[in-house]
Every structure is written in structure tokens, then in C-alpha cells.
Amino acid sequence: MAEVQRSHVQRSSIASGRTRVGGYDADFIPSLDRKYVCPICLAALREPMQTLCGHRFCRNCIMGCVQEGMRTARCPVDNVVLIVHKELFEDNAFRREVLSLTVKCDNSTQGCTWTGELRELEGHKLSCSYVMVECEHRCGVQVLQRLMTEHLVSCERRPTVCTHCQMTIPFADMTKHQLLMCQNLPVQCTSCGKGGIQRKDIAKHIDVTTGDCPSTVIPCQYAQFGCQFQSLRRLMPDHLNENTNQHILLLVRRISDQEQRIQTLESTMSTDHSEMTVPVSKFIFGQYFTGSLDWKIPLPSENLLNLKSTFVSPSFYTGCPGYQLHVTLGLNAHVQENEKWTSVHLTFEKGIFDDELPPNMENSTWRIKIVSQLDVDDRLRDGISDCISCTMVRPTYRFPSYRVGKENFMLSRELLEYEFTKNGYLHVNVWLER
């Protein structure tokens, strides 16, 4: 095969600065004869034009040497003055001769063996299987046209259907999609360990009201009646079985309260508006509306000095109407200087009379007493008591509860002495000192 000469395209610029296309940049077989080379761009003549002095140039190259608006120009080879519109003309015969020259495909270095006339080169390039093309999946890779089908099969951005949600996701993003976004992916509940739950159903599974996760903390179903107990769902049946009487009492209190409110309304409707105020003493009834609490706390059988536990009393009211609150006793809740202390707190919570109460009531004093269980003849004291002075606060939507109390109410070792735990429970009296 004859030696192949690779010519180089040079771009010439006209006075206005616009870029013009020079000669043909192609691999010629055999090497390009000098008579076909443009003296300006040194490439094969494209649309050749001949001067009166016998030199040939690419159309764009020679026109780039003519100053705009000028009638004359100089030949770039011998500097002869030319009248542009008379002494510079197209050489169609030479153009056909150049287009008939034999060339190789521009992609011959990639393996293409095509050869043909220069006039056929552009048409061949449109269908050449050795041209480098961009991947249609926009992965950033360029491959030979003939290898594109093979590349698309293994492309990292190839469309892939998620087996769980049927969405079409790029292959490279599938792991991220399934780990973080796929709502149909079976996952494991982090609370109870149950697997096979679709991600979109996890919220339903752990829902406090309608879920079935046994490890979700839920309130007692009697919470609306005043029960403050919360526990894992799987332990709630035990609480319901063990506190049946307390729940019945809460229901009775609610029924009694409703009856009292009905009586109040009936009484108000039957009296003159100027005499609508009814003495509060007429509505104070039962142990839950007197501002006092008689509370017996069953104690577990474990070593109580090493047990950290919190006991929550039934809710009660400071009066009728009054603030609703409950008492929390924290066994071994606080440690100071290697001594374990029992704490006592009052928690004011939302109650049925909130709309009738002022936002707060200052300077109230609550007495908390641990009652001695010894016989009268054996007693050295009736019990141990202390006071909590505070402002009674009506809860709001933003702050549904208000808590006050003492961290160091009583040393736990003194509280758990035989005198106070003789019968397997603690006896606590709480009342509002008026």
C-alpha cells in the first residue's frame, strides 16, 4: 500500500474575525500531490479558486485574504495584484479532480478498512461502525459504534426495574434506592425484630393506636379517664388484668363527675342569673375531689435497695372545680454522696375543670407523709412528712403538664425500714394545706 500522508487543517480568519473552514483533512492514498495542497491552510483544496497568476487556493482561504469592501488583493504566493471580481475565479475541473482522490476512513486507527473517493467520505462516516459515540444512558463513556450494543448491556446507568416497587432505576443507583427510598422493600422492625414488613407499612406497624408491634410503648386504654400507665404493648394485658378495680374506680369518678356537671347545669338554668354562683363546698365529694390522696403502693419482692423504680398514683383534684394532678414516687431515683434518695413529685395535668380555673395559683403548700404501719403501742412516730411549696399551674396545649417536687425527699434506706414496709406496701398521704 502506498504511503499515507495525513494533512492538517488550518483555520484562516477574515478581517471581521469569523472563522472559515479550510481544506479537507483526510488520509489520502497515495500521499497527496503538492498540486492539490492549498498554500494557505496546507490541506487538500476545498472548492478551489484560481488566480490569474496561476495559483490555486481553497475558496474560504483566499477570500479570507481579501479585505472587506476592497476591489483588489494580492496573491499570497507571488504578491501579484489581483482584481477580485475579474482575476479570481472558481476552478470546477480541479474541484472534481480533488473529490476523486482516494482516501481512508478517519477511523482507520480504530480498525475501519474502508477506502473510497473523497466525495464519499462524509456519507461513509454517517454509518461507520468504528466511530466513537456517547452512551445513550449518559454514563459519560465513549465507545465504538459497533460495540455500543455490548456496552449497553453492562452500562452502569442502564435502566433496571426494581423487583419490589417496579420503578425503573439506573443500575448504579439501585442499591441506594432499595436501602433508602423503595417503599415496598421488606425491612425489619427495629423494635420487635419482625421481618418482611414493607417499608411503607412500618409506621402502621408501630402506630400507638392501631399498630401490632409488641415492643411499642402505648398508653393504657383508660388514659382518657386518668390512668397514667404506659408500657410495651405485649405487657399491657397484664396491666389491665392487675388493675381492673382501679380502672373501674376511674370510670366511676368520670360518671360521678358528669352527673355533678349535669346537676350544676340544671341548677344554673333554674336560678336567676344574678344568683348563679354556687358554693364550692357543695361539689366537693369523694376522696378524689378533696385535695387529698390516700395512696397504698404495693412493693415488689426484689431487693428494694438495689431497685430503681417509679410509682405513679391515681389522679385526683384539688377541689371541684380544681386542678388535676398525680404524685410520682421515685425509689432510688437520686444518688448523692453514695446515698440513695427517694424523690417525690407533683405533676399537674389536664383536667375536666381547666376551662373554669385561673392559669395558676401561687403559694400553695402540699404535705406528703409516709405513714408508719406499726401498732400504736410500738410506734415511736406516726410517720415522716415533708412539704412541697409551689404554684399550681393549669396545663395548656403547648405545655400539657407541669411538674414540681423534691429529689431528696427521704433516704431510701430509711423509707424501706420495717416500720414503713411491714405489710408489703408503702402508705402515703398527700394533702393540700389550706
DSSP string computed for 237-287? HHHHHHTHHHHHHHHHHHHHHHHHHHHHHHHHHTS-GGG----GGGG--ST
Torsion angle (degrees, nearest 10) of CA 260, 325, 223, 369: -110
Return the residue matching grid coordinates 439501585.
174
Going edge to edge, which strands form the sheet with 48-51?
56-58, 48-51, 88-90
> CA–CA separation, 144 vs 138, rounded Å?
15
- Asked if CATH classification 3.20.20.70 holds for the domain at 5-104, the reply, yes or no, is no
Instruction: For residues 7 and 168, give the distance between their C-alpha atoms in angstroms, rounded to a whole number.
Output: 48
Q: Residues spanned by CATH 2.60.210.10 within the chain?
A: 283-433
The answer to whether residues 214 and 232 touch, using CB atoms and an 8 Å cutoff, is yes
Closest CA to 350 of 257, 254, 226: 226
**Could you give the CA distance from residue 128 to residue 111 in angstroms, rounded to a whole number?**
11
Q: CATH topology for 283-433?
A: 2.60.210
DSSP-assigned letter for residue 46: S
What CA–CA distance (Å, rounded) separates 98 from 111?
25
CATH 3.30.40.10 positions along the chain are: 5-104
Beta bridge partners of 116: 103
Detail the DSSP E strand segments found in 40-114. 48-51, 56-58, 72-74, 81-83, 88-90, 102-104
Q: Which residues fall within 8 angstroms of residue 345, CB to CB, at 6 or more apart?
A: 327, 328, 330, 403, 404, 405, 406
Q: How far apart are CA 172 and CA 141, in angstroms?
A: 14
The two beta strands, 102-104 and 115-117, are antiparallel
Residue 316, Cβ density class (10 Å: 0-12 exposed, 13-18 middle, ≥19 buried): buried
Cell (9 digits) for 96: 472534481
Give the chain's residues under pLDDT 70: 1-20, 270-287, 376-381, 434
The rounded distance, in Å, linking the Cα atoms of 32 and 43 is 9
Cell 433496571 maps to which residue?
Answer: 160
Three-point CA angle 13, 19, 24, nearest 5°? 95
Q: Identify the pLDDT of residue 377.
A: 64
What is the pLDDT, as a whole number, of residue 284? 40
**pTM recorded for the entire structure:** 0.39
Instruction: Check: CB of residue 310 under 8 Å from CB of residue 285.
Output: no
Q: What does the block give as the cell for 255?
A: 360518671
Look at residue 392 in the predicted model and tell me its pLDDT: 83
Q: What does the alpha-carbon distance between residue 342 and residue 305 come to, in Å, rounded to a whole number?
A: 10
CB atoms within 10 A of CB 209: 7
Question: In this structure, which long-range contacts are made by residues 254-257, counting pairs with CB atoms below 8 Å and at least 24 apart in sequence?
Answer: 254/225, 254/226, 256/285, 256/286, 257/352
pLDDT of the residue at 380 = 60
pLDDT tens for residues 264-303? 787 777 654 444 343 433 434 455 788 889 999 998 877 7
